[in-house]
Amino acid sequence: MLDGRYRVEARIAVGGMATVYRAVDTRLDRVLALKVMHPALAADGSFVDRFIREAKSVARLDHPNVVQVFDQGTDRAYVYLAMEYVAGCTLRDVLRERGALQPRAALDILEPMLAALGAAHRAGFVHRDMKPENVLIGDDGRVKVADFGLVRGVGTVTNTTGSVLGTVSYLAPEQIESGTADPRVDVYACGILLYEMLTGERPHEGDSPAIVLYKHLHDDVPPPSGVVPGMAYGLDELVASATARNPEVRPYDAVALLAQVREVRGGLDAAQLDAMPPQALSSEHHNADDRTSVIPRALTSPTLGFARAGGPPSRPLPVDEDDGQRGHGGGADSYHRTSRLRTPAPLPPRRGPGLRAPALLRGPMTIVVLVLLVLGAGAGAWYINSGQFTKVPPLLAKTEKEARDRLAEAGLGVGRVEEAYSDSVKRGSVIRTDPAAGARIRGTDSVSLTLSKGPETVKVPDVDGVALDKARAALKKAGLEPGMVTREFSGDVAKGSVISTGPAGGTEVRAGSAVALTVSKGNPVDVPDVTGEDLADARAELEEVGLEVEVATERVTSEHDAGRVARQSPGADDEAVEGDTVTLTLSKGPEMIEVPDVVGDSVDEATGTLEAAGFRVEEDRGLFGLFGDTVKGQSVAGGDTAPKGSTITLKIR
């Protein structure tokens, strides 16, 4: 029993931060899920704050496709969330069991996911960790998004001391580079999820997380049709739009992506929606009557199975039906808005001289006339409300010729054609249209195209020989970023100035690229050894090779006479350049210590005693002491003092 209320019945899952249990709320007698933080993490305030932030964030999201949070509390060392219990499986279970999914099933799962995220985005939150494990599919076919444990406010930058929060296979490039988290990182992750559902595999794989992160930064997500031949082109466009490496090209939030999904889906026929990808496992492991054993049957029906599960999913936000086109790329407003046809009121019988209604109604010609009148009125109303309008087709990443052809097929003309730089769309292909894809315009109108000029390139300025701070400023002014700085000795370039850049000056590179700088450490100098020298002589010798001299305030005892250099820094074996400072520490003379009396001792005993006291020892055996072993005298008598480290001579007879 947890907190005197929740009876734990079974463990459901274990994650990096918490364990999830199925439990019963004994007060309300309902089954729920308990997410309990690992006790070892509960001592960390930052983890507890993140855990509680999840509860507060999700509690604000009242949406049928978000796993609801009922309660949050602490019981001794256990910090927990009480959440809605969803009986079913995760999208990861579905993919593991089924491999690739039919487009209809993939879109049936994606749409409620985007509806949930759209509600979060419009409420000011970003999920930041969308992955198959966080998409729950109930036994009733209802799809719910879970685990808002990494939720952040829109537009925040996450400081994680070098680590990137989230799962590497689904991280957007800007999350990896700068930690930036706005709704478009969730859009990117959903694009990866769509690719994975359609193909049965992730677009970027590698032997290590570092390789996967590198591919997210430098490789575009390939079109699903490259893995699943014959897949509808609209699905390729949808994946390309959601996973553009440049966040400016992506739909600005999940609501906008949902509108694109609905638009693409509307352009697919039944054969395209129900096409079975070759990577699907159903044909090998399930018979024809068991095709929905993992995915609820509602998810593979022509319409999303929420009718039998309690009604259709709610919209992420209420939509003003009367407003015009808003947002980028024909967002949710353009999708949710309906044409609202009005059936004309029945016309009263026309009366006049010579025309009697009863007689008129008796003839077959009268019936034909009335039908034609009603059809004409209906056709007129249809034309006024819808017939004269058409939708702008999706043209992202199409060549100019392809875009013109598709516009012509839709009965639309081409207006102004402009060019702009793009890091993610190849040169000559469409970056954006005006009006945006999905916009409802008159059939006689034209659509303006913006074509890619390719990545913006700039020339690296020549900053060789320029001081480092000025070189950095010049690079920034040119639209580049100062990169890694390495330092080398140079006899030609002044200390602190640039020796070279990588790439070299004059090279054309993509705008915003980093430029490495090699900076001079100055001319190398051989530091002379001045220990034991008089201060004046030492100073002159050091200054002669271009070094500055500083004298330490404290003096130390040493073997050198008082006033002479006891030690120096840097030393004779250390690196230095012209202009460096050498610190000299002067001697206050040797330390005087008492000399032990060793006369009468054996040579070995006397030597050991004197060396232990800090003296060096020499032997004087003379002519008659070659074979003796007894000390007959010592150069400094026992009891007198001598400099520590000085030599005591033993006379042996």
**515 located within any domain:** yes
**353 located within any domain:** no
Q: Is 103 exposed, middle or buried (0-12, 13-18, 19+ CB in 10 A)?
A: buried
**Same domain (yes/no): 27, 43:** yes
Q: Is 129 a catalytic residue?
A: yes
**163 located within any domain:** yes
Which CATH number covers residue 634?
3.30.10.20
**Same domain (yes/no): 497, 646:** no
**Same domain (yes/no): 565, 630:** no
What is the C-alpha separation between 369 and 382, in angstroms, rounded? 20
> Count of domains in the chain?
6
Number of H helices, E strands in the chain: 19, 30
**Same domain (yes/no): 75, 105:** no
- Of 378, 385, 380, which is closest to residue 346 (Cα–Cα)? 378
Measured N-to-C along each axis, helices 183-199 and 254-266 cross at an angle, to the nearest 10 degrees, of 30
CA distances from 13 to 10, 89, 109, 143 (A): 10, 12, 22, 18
**Same domain (yes/no): 101, 247:** yes
**397 located within any domain:** yes
pLDDT of 320 reads 33
Give the single-character DSSP code of 459. E
Which CATH number covers residue 145?
1.10.510.10
pLDDT of 543 reads 93
Q: What is the mean pLDDT of each run of 10 residues along the chain (653 residues)?
A: 89 81 90 86 71 70 85 83 88 91 95 92 84 90 78 42 57 83 91 95 87 87 89 92 90 91 91 90 46 42 33 34 33 30 37 40 56 54 54 86 90 91 82 85 86 88 95 92 86 91 89 86 90 94 92 90 92 85 93 92 94 92 76 92 91 84
Q: How crowded is the C-beta side of 644, counted as CA atoms within 13 Å?
A: 11
- Of 515, 492, 494, which is closest to residue 505 (Cα–Cα)? 515
**Same domain (yes/no): 63, 106:** no
pLDDT of 500 reads 94
**337 located within any domain:** no
Which CATH number covers residue 28?
3.30.200.20
**Same domain (yes/no): 128, 225:** yes
What is the C-alpha separation between 275 and 232, in angstroms, rounded? 9
What is the C-alpha separation between 534 and 566, in angstroms, rounded? 10
- State whether the Cα torsion 567-570-574-577 is positive or negative: negative
- φ/ψ of 247, rounded to 5, equals -60, -25
pTM over 0.85: no
**Same domain (yes/no): 144, 221:** yes
**Same domain (yes/no): 596, 579:** no
Q: State the catalytic residue, choosing from 108, 129, 182, 333.
A: 129
**Same domain (yes/no): 23, 104:** no
Beta partners for residue 651, in sequence order: 620, 633
- State whether the Cα torsion 79-82-83-89 is positive or negative: positive
The last residue of one of the domains, among 545, 571, 586, is 586
Residue where the block lists tokens 């638009």: 263
Measured N-to-C along each axis, helices 91-98 and 183-199 cross at an angle, to the nearest 10 degrees, of 20
What is the C-alpha separation between 357 and 350, in angstroms, rounded? 8
The last residue of one of the domains, among 277, 293, 316, is 316
**351 located within any domain:** no
**Same domain (yes/no): 598, 580:** no
Residues 329/436, Cβ–Cβ less than 8 Å: yes
- Of 427, 418, 178, 143, which is closest to residue 304 (Cα–Cα)? 143
The last residue of one of the domains, among 284, 301, 316, is 316
Angle, alpha carbons 274-251-509 (nearest 5°): 115
Residues 460/480, Cβ–Cβ less than 8 Å: yes
**371 located within any domain:** no
**528 located within any domain:** no
Residues 171/186, Cβ–Cβ less than 8 Å: no
Domain range for 39: 1-85
* Residue 183 neighbours by CB distance under 10 Å: 27
**Same domain (yes/no): 498, 603:** no
